[in-house]
């Protein structure tokens, strides 16, 4: 079963590279899923450029795994930062921890620290690769393995792990002894910025530790509109 998933995902990565060459990039947060993709890329020999978003609020453990993975695969990820002017203006107007005050302030922070830098990177690219899985959120469940980016017209998005579940990711990680972010061993299951991520209990959902004080959809705007409303099927 895992072998089939590996083969399918490698095929997708090879297809992305053959189709777009240097105009396709891989956005990694050095999550377990993204590290699987880095490993698959090394098997496929695609040479697709890695980039990552440094929001300025990341946990130290994420910088540590960034360095470990970069050394393991000999990659030099492009680290993309938000605009200094935009962050300074936002903090001056709304405070350093504005994301705690309201959902709209949280969205402003995510837009400033994540979405605009991502859009800047993609502005001269034709496609990008993400490590989302369909079982993570409602919007991700409606994604396709190869799709037009629903948030960035004209840009293609490849989701090679869309049909994997967390057990597949864990199995791959164990089988090929991939290093992982140390926070996973402390109960974290989805890792983002330090002030907006916490460990979860075994019965809680994977993304419930993200912005846990909100009832929302647990998306920052990279993969889904922050105010996404899931499409209800008839039987629901
Ligand atoms: S996750 Fe939190 S700290 Fe990070 S960009 Fe979003 S609101 Fe800001």
Average pLDDT, the chain: 92
* Token pair recorded at residue 81: 């930062």
Q: Respond yes or no: is residue 220 known to be catalytic.
A: yes
pLDDT of residue 201: 94
Mutating to test ligand 1, I would choose from 118, 195, 214 the residue with most ligand atoms within 8 A of its C-beta, which is 195
CA–CA gap between residue 233 and residue 236 (Å, rounded):
5
Residues 6 or more apart whose Cβ sits within 8 Å of residue 216: 103, 226, 227
Above 90 in pLDDT, residue 133? yes
Lowest mean pLDDT among 91-105, 167-181, 214-228: 214-228
pLDDT of residue 42: 95
Site residues for ligand 1, CB cut-off 6 Å: 55, 57, 99, 106, 109-110, 113-114, 192-193, 195-196, 220
Q: Where are the domains of the chain?
A: 2-182
Residue written as token pair 């698959």: 40
Determine which one of 109, 193, 196, 220 is catalytic. 220
Enter the pTM of the model.
0.92
CB neighbours of residue 10 within 10 Å: 17
Cβ–Cβ < 8 Å for 57, 193? yes
Q: What is the CATH number of domain 2-182?
A: 3.40.50.620
Cβ–Cβ < 8 Å for 190, 222? no
Residue written as token pair 């921890």: 97
Cα(110) to ligand 1 centroid in Å equals 5
Mutating to test ligand 1, I would choose from 81, 113, 191, 207 the residue with most ligand atoms within 8 A of its C-beta, which is 113
């Amino acid at each position: 079963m895992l072998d089939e998933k590996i083969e399918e995902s490698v095929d997708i990565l090879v297809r992305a590279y053959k189709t777009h060459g240097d105009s396709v990039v891989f956005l990694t947060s050095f999550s377990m899923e993204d590290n699987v993709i880095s490993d698959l890329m090394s098997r496929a020999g695609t040479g697709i450029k890695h980039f990552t978003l440094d929001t300025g609020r990341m946990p130290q453990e994420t910088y540590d795994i960034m360095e470990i993975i970069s050394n393991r695969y000999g990659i030099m990820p492009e680290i993309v930062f938000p605009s200094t002017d935009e962050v300074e203006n936002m903090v001056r107007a709304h405070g350093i921890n504005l994301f705690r005050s309201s959902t709209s302030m949280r969205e402003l922070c995510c837009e400033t620290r994540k979405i605009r830098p991502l859009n800047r990177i993609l502005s001269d690219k034709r496609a990008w690769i993400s490590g989302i899985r369909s079982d993570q959120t409602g919007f991700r469940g409606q994604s396709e393995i190869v799709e037009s980016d629903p948030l960035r017209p004209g840009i293609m998005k490849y989701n090679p792990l869309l049909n994997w579940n967390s057990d597949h990711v864990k199995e791959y990680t164990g089988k090929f002894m991939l290093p992982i972010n140390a926070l996973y061993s402390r109960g974290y299951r989805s890792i983002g910025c330090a002030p907006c991520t916490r460990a979860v209990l075994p019965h809680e959902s994977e993304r419930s530790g993200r912005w846990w004080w909100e009832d929302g959809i647990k998306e920052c705007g990279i993969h889904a509109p922050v105010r996404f409303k899931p499409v209800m099927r008839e039987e629901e």
